[in-house]
Amino acid sequence: MASATDSALTDEILHSRTLLRKRMKALRAALSSGDATACGLAAQKHLLSLDLWSRARSVALYVSVRDEMPTSLLLQEAWASEREVWLPRLRAGQPGKMDFVRCSGKHDLRPGPFGLWEPKDDLPGCGPGESAFVPDCMILPGLAFDMHGGRLGYGGGYYDRFLASGWPCTLVGLCFDFQLLQCLPLAPWDRPVHCICTEERDLCL
């Protein structure tokens, strides 16, 4: 989850995770703008066609940054259909921790760290386990996913910490198809997802 707990992993697994993160970042960065846009649109349309999205009245999303799989279509559709939309906000001075904040549109966002767009500071946020935060599904970013629902994040542990106590909603990984591998070098704290959507397929486990 964080560097303090890396001692629980073997050197081989740590090395594999580091190399895999570098490789996935390089592959994403190598995508042309046009290919990234087209793949992102296709992946989001796959997700929008799933029953889990159709049934969801409250969704936790993320605002994509840099080379991440785009989420603009999901956000647009969620707000247009008057779904309840929750977005993450990092806790200032608390590395690895975040809250989710209900946002009714882009006007509720402001620039944050790491090039992120986050909910404004004056909007109330919900931490892990708070009863006010009960989305029907949560869409997660990641550097890699596997066929069993395994997820490899960026190394900060934000989502893994938030989800550590378990979560009743459906967790959905959103990524480019080359980020979906057969098996990942996972750690005990890596939280699995229930469904993965790419530009080529959707895998519900």
pLDDT tens figures, 34-43: 999 999 999 9
CATH number, span 3-204: 3.40.50.10420
Q: What is the CA radius of gyration of the chain?
A: 16
What pLDDT score was predicted for residue 8?
A: 64
Q: Where are the domains of the chain?
A: 3-204
pLDDT at 47 over 60: yes
Cα(79)–Cα(59) distance, rounded to whole angstroms?
A: 10
Cβ–Cβ under 8 Å, residues 87 and 118: yes
Mean pLDDT (the chain) is 92
pTM of the model: 0.91
Q: Do residues 152 and 21 lie in contact, with contact meaning Cβ atoms separated by under 8 Å?
A: yes
Please write the tens of the pLDDT for every residue from 182-197: 999 999 989 999 999 9
DSSP output for 106-174: GGGEEE-GGG-EEE-TTS-EE-TT-TT---SEEEE--SEEETTS-EE--SS-HHHHHTTT--SSEEEEE
**How confident is the model over 121-144, as a mean pLDDT?**
94
Instruction: Give the pLDDT score at 2.
Output: 43
> Token pair 């995508």 is at which residue?
31
Rounded average pLDDT over 45-60: 96
Q: Could you tell me how many helices (H) and strands (E) the chain has, helices first?
A: 5, 13
> To 10 degrees, the CA torsion angle through 178, 70, 60, 172?
-20
- Evaluate if residue 178 carries a pLDDT over 70: yes
Q: What's the pLDDT band for 101 if we cut at 50, 70, 90?
A: very high
